[in-house]
Structures are given as structure tokens and as C-alpha cells.
Chain A
């Protein structure tokens, strides 16, 4: 098994993570049962404790390192699969009904996210003309 350790600088919701590999590839053998989704892998002599991301070649998946537990010289990496990064191309090959998007949007749909201030904006427009002047009208019977 080959394990690559990274430093991930991106949020979990980012598909294309900004990662930098830390050290060289680590090879070893699985000695116990190992989940492909939540693998726990113990390695000997972890030099860089700031790693937070990994790739397991045999599993073909990227993983978040959720926790590192030290057992003497053994460092147990508790990980969870990053489905967004691992299956990025597959996700992008699909279509979906988009509820909210950063660049493709329709502002005429009611949006509860926006907030309004207490003081409203006023516009007062007068019509060009109105009633000007007053007139007497005398009504008399007959022509």
C-alpha cells in the first residue's frame, strides 16, 4: 500500500483542494481490516504532524485526516474519504437542478438570504401637470 500525505489548505466543500505533499510516499502493508471510507492506518515515525490530508493509491481515494493518535512511535491516522476530490470528474459529468449558484443566477426568484434595513428607500415622483386654477360654473335653467 502506498500512502501520500498532504497539507490541505481548502475548505471541505471545495472540490479541487489546494494540497501540498509532505514528505515522500509511504509504503507498507495492511495488517488489519481497513475500511475504504473511514480507514485507520498506523505508520511509524510521522515526522510532520501538520499533515491533514492523504491519498491511498490502492483505494484510489483522497482522505481527510481527522485525527492523529500517538501510540509510542506509532502514529494512527484516523481518516475519512473526501468524496468531492476523489470523484471530482464523475461529479462534473452529471447535471443537476441548481438551487443557488455563484455566477449563473436569476435574481427575480425570491431569496430569503438577503437582509433589509429598517429604513426603506423612498422615491416620490410628481406628475408633470395637475389641476391649475379654479373656475366658476354658473348653472342656470333654460337656454
Chain B
């Protein structure tokens, strides 16, 4: 004999009526038997309502009873084991079945709580219940029942009275709102950013727990069945239609701490707006007409001297403008560069024409370009840069100046001078091929030739100033050299490069180099590049590797490998073994 499974259907009579109850239920598959129960035993079963109803399918069974207000009707339909499509008995509604079920009969399905007979059901693809009262029909809601049961889609009637909530939810980015709760100004731009939204319907059980739900995207493209209780993930549902969110309590689960930083302009700030050597001043003393700068040759200077001390020079006419003959001579000097020649004319002392023709200058400024020298990487490593590599540049009329290897190495440097031949001041510009002018130094490149006793005193003063600069530099070099010797002696054993080169003393290679002394000095710039001579044992990489600081799969590494940080996962070993492995990886292994 086959086992008969009796599956229940429920209805509730919630209307006060005096007439006799008359209801129907149906089973869409072969019905083998049924049992009708009720609280007060007021119901009768019609002529069909006898046992041994095998063969009845899609045929309504009539239920008759007396005034069962507030009673639950339970019908158990017997289905044969292994029925290919066992289905659930249900009460028809008035629309679908022509009023065979009175309005006061409300079919019920309980998802949870109450009668626990439906706990094995899974509701998916639920439709939206538009009314918040009454009950509704959901097509295809019941897709599975019973352990090991088959799949079958059909309608289920659900009592949603006061148990439905429809609401919309907007999905916002994390920074949609500022700290004060207002909308982040970045989202108030004319190009309004539309955040995606969701239409959500939730069904609730009588005890307030969520029994199911539906989520529809704002675009209406997809419908997702969700496990609402899991999805809400901690939100407290306090009765139908009310979702209580956490307040701004800083100790709530949300907290106040969040990620930050890392939003700099990294990657965008790598531009170099190189500065060029400035052009010469356009306004100069020579162009004003108050001063004339001549560029006499030695012969012209000799002629001039002869003229000044000869009878040809008429002091009487000269004294109309100047107290003595030398009053109009501003100076005679020697410079290493000369501005462009504008032309030739007789040298004039006030209104006295010497009759000696001489070239004169268009400007008192000139530029001297000494060309470029490239400073390439020597090793192609950290040893090519500070503090290991030291650069010193000799600039005529300035002296030795230190340059940063970080600034220079890998490019070329160009040296240019802007010179004022009237005052003798010069500015030396050190220009990098990519980064532009990085250094500028001032000096003096003039040697005054005394043409009076007073100017001779001034010239000597300038000369001694130059010598004292050299002497001071020499003393400074000796002082720092002594200290350096002590340090070098103490560090007999050469250790790491970064230690050793810090120990090297820095010697000053010259003092201020300018004026009368500088004219006797080196006239061409040169650079002294001092690099560490490193000692590399053969195949040192095999024994200690080389600096890496790269995140890699260990399977991609071969040879000596030392890890900074490693967390071993997926290895079935004891914790002691894991610790030993991580320790060895940090100390270095050979893969």
C-alpha cells in the first residue's frame, strides 16, 4: 500500500456572519483523500467530501459549516507517495473561482512562526503586493517544498494584512554626505550624479520578522530574490513598515573612524618648469650717454697715456668742466669678456677731444656661455647619488661650489655668466639640461688699473681682499682636513657604503675667487666628480641577493630570497612550523 502524504491548507474565517459557511478547496493533482478539521467541528463535507476520492483532480471540494467566526479551517489533502507533481491544496479566491469562496474566508500561508508546517518552503521570485491590507496572490511563489521534493511553480495565497512594506532605497557612494550630514558639495554640481536606487518590498510575519522580499533595481532590469534577514544585516525591523537605523552614536556599529589619506596628487605632480638663464638687462649705463665705455687696445692705452701727460692736453679748457684732468676718467680696468662693439670714435674727456680713435661698447653687459658637460650615472645605482657621490664645480671668478648629485647626475649642466664690465660684477648660472637653472653665484671679474694715486690705493685694497680670501679658504681647508683625518683614522675598517661615504670629510677647494686675484686663476669651469669605488665580491647576489622591495609570488622567485613581510596561507602545518617558515623567509632562503 502506498504511503499517503497529507499536506495542509489553511484558511481563517474572520467575518461575522449568520449564514452557513460554504467554501471550497481544491488540489491540482490527484487527490487520494482529505481530512477537514476545524476548531469547533462545525463544518460538514459535501457529497464529494468523503474519503476514497481517488481520481479527483482540479475539482473543488465543498465545505459547509455553521458560523465559524474566528475559526481556522484546516484541510489536509492526501497525496500518494512519488506523485510526479505533488502539489499543495489551496483555497480558491472569489475572483479566480467565481465566488466559490466567500470573502470572509481568507486563505493563509504562514512562512514562519505560528504553525510551523511551512518552514521547508522557499519563496522566490515573489511579486509586489501593492496593497498594504488584505491578502494577495503570488504566482509562482512556491517553488520547492518538502525534503527531497520536486520543483513546481504555482500560486500561493498570502495574508499580507498589515504585513507589507514597500519602500525605495538609494544607493549612495561613501562620501555622499559630509560630516555635518549635508550633501557633499562635489555632488551638487550641475552634472547631477544620479545614484542608483532600489524598490524594495518586504513581507512580514505576525511577529514582525521579515518573511521574504523583493528587490527591483531603479532601471527595472533585474529582480532579485533575497534573503532579507541576511541582507539587512543587523538592521532592526520593528514592526511592519518601520526600519530603525542606528543614530549618530559614535559607539554604534558604524563608528566614526574611517579610511583616509592617499588622495594626494601623486602622479600628477611631476612636471618641471625649467628656468632659463635670464637675458641681459635692456637698460644700461652705456646707452644713457652719460658714460662712454671704450675698449682700447694696448696701443690705444699707450697713446692715451702719452696724450694725458703731453702738452697737447690743455688744462685750461678742461677746467671749465672738471677740477683736475682725471676727474672725467671713471676708471680703466681689465675684464675677461667684452660686450659687443658699437663703433669707433675719438676718446673725449668732457669737451676735449683727445684725437685718439677707439672702439666703444654698446652696453656694459655681456653673456659668456661656457658650454655643457654631461654627468652620467657611473654604476646605475644608489651609489651615483647623495650622499655617496660628491660634485664640486669650479667657476672662474667665483671659486669652487658644491653641487648636489641628486640634482645633477643623469643630465648635463651648462654654465653661463652674465657680466657687468662697468662694475665687474658677474653672476654664474648653473643650468641643468632638464631642470633649468638650479644654482647661481655672484663674483667679481674686474681688475682695476690705477690711473691716479687714489685709484691705486683702491686697487691694492681690492688685491689684498682677494688674497685674504685665498688664505681664509686655505685655513678652512686645513681645519676641516684635520678633523677629517681623525675620523678617517678611527674608521680603519671600511664597512657599508652608506656609512663610509658619510665619513669622508668635505674639503673646501678654494676661497672666494674674484677681482684682481681671480684674473690669475683658472679661466675655464670644470667639475670634480667624486664617486665611491665600491667593492663587489664575485656573485654576491647568490649569497645575499640585492635590494628588491617588490611584492612577488614566491613561485616567481628563484635563488636567494629574503622577505620583508610574508603571511603564509593555505599551508596545512602546525603553527610552530608556520612560524619557523616565516622566520626563515625573513632571514633568507634559496628558492
The chain A residues found within 8 Å of chain B, CB to CB, are 11, 13-16, 36-37, 81, 83-84, 86-87, 90-143
Contact = CB atoms under 8 A, between A and B. Distances in A.
A71 to B, nearest CB: 28
B3 interface: no
B300 to A, nearest CB: 8
A55 to B, nearest CB: 15
B63 interface: no
Interface string B323-357: 00001111111111110000000011110000000
Give me the 8 closest cross-chain CB pairs, A-B, nearest first. Answer: A130-B524, A102-B559, A128-B371, A100-B545, A90-B571, A96-B566, A105-B546, A139-B330
Given A14-B589, A135-B336, A141-B291, A98 B557 contact: yes
A15 B289 contact: no
B251 interface: no
B381 A36 contact: no
Given A124-B526, A124-B529, A141-B350, A101 B494 contact: no
11 contacts: A94-B567, A95-B552, A101-B546, A125-B375, A127-B372, A130-B522, A131-B336, A135-B334, A140-B328, A140-B330, A141-B328
A104 B335 contact: no
B318 interface: no
A91 B361 CA distance: 80
Contacts of A94: 553-554, 566-571
Given A105-B541, A128-B373, A142-B348, 20 more contacts: A13-B584, A13-B589, A87-B571, A94-B553, A94-B568, A96-B552, A96-B567, A98-B562, A100-B546, A106-B546, A110-B547, A116-B500, A118-B488, A120-B530, A121-B530, A124-B528, A129-B524, A130-B524, A138-B347, A143-B348
B545 A101 contact: yes
Interface majority SS (helix, strand, loop, mixed), chain A: loop
Interface majority SS (helix, strand, loop, mixed), chain B: mixed
Contacts of A37: 574, 576-577
Given A98-B552, A105-B546, A137-B333, A127 B373 contact: yes
Contact of A116 (B373, B527, B534): B534
Nearest to B557: A101
B561 interface: yes
A13 B560 CA distance: 9
Contact of A84 (B300, B335, B541, B581): B581
Nearest to B328: A141
A105 B563 CA distance: 13
Contacts of B378: 121, 123
Nearest to B573: A87
Contacts of A137: 293-295, 331-335, 338, 361, 421-422
Contact of B498 (A92, A110, A133): A110
Contact of A120 (B396, B504, B522): B504
Contacts of A121: 378, 530-533
Contact of B534 (A91, A99, A114, A125): A114
B547 A99 contact: yes
B571 A101 contact: no
Contacts of A96: 551-552, 554, 563-567, 585
A86 B563 CA distance: 19
B542 A102 contact: yes
Interface centre among B375, B422, B549 (most CB of A within 10 A): B549
B568 A90 contact: yes
B370 A130 contact: yes
Contacts of A106: 546-550
B294 A114 contact: no
B396 A128 contact: no
Interface centre among A16, A81, A106, A136 (most CB of B within 10 A): A136
Contacts of A107: 379-382, 546-547
Contact of B584 (A84, A124, A126, A139): A84
A27 to B, nearest CB: 25
Contacts of A110: 382, 498, 547
A108 B524 CA distance: 34
Contact of B548 (A15, A36, A105, A117): A105
B304 interface: yes
A123 B588 CA distance: 38
A139 B533 contact: no
Contact of A101 (B496, B523, B526, B561): B561
A101 B544 CA distance: 8
B320 to A, nearest CB: 13
B525 A130 contact: yes
Contacts of B350: 141-142
B562 A91 contact: no
Given A99-B549, A102-B542, A138-B304, A111 B497 contact: yes
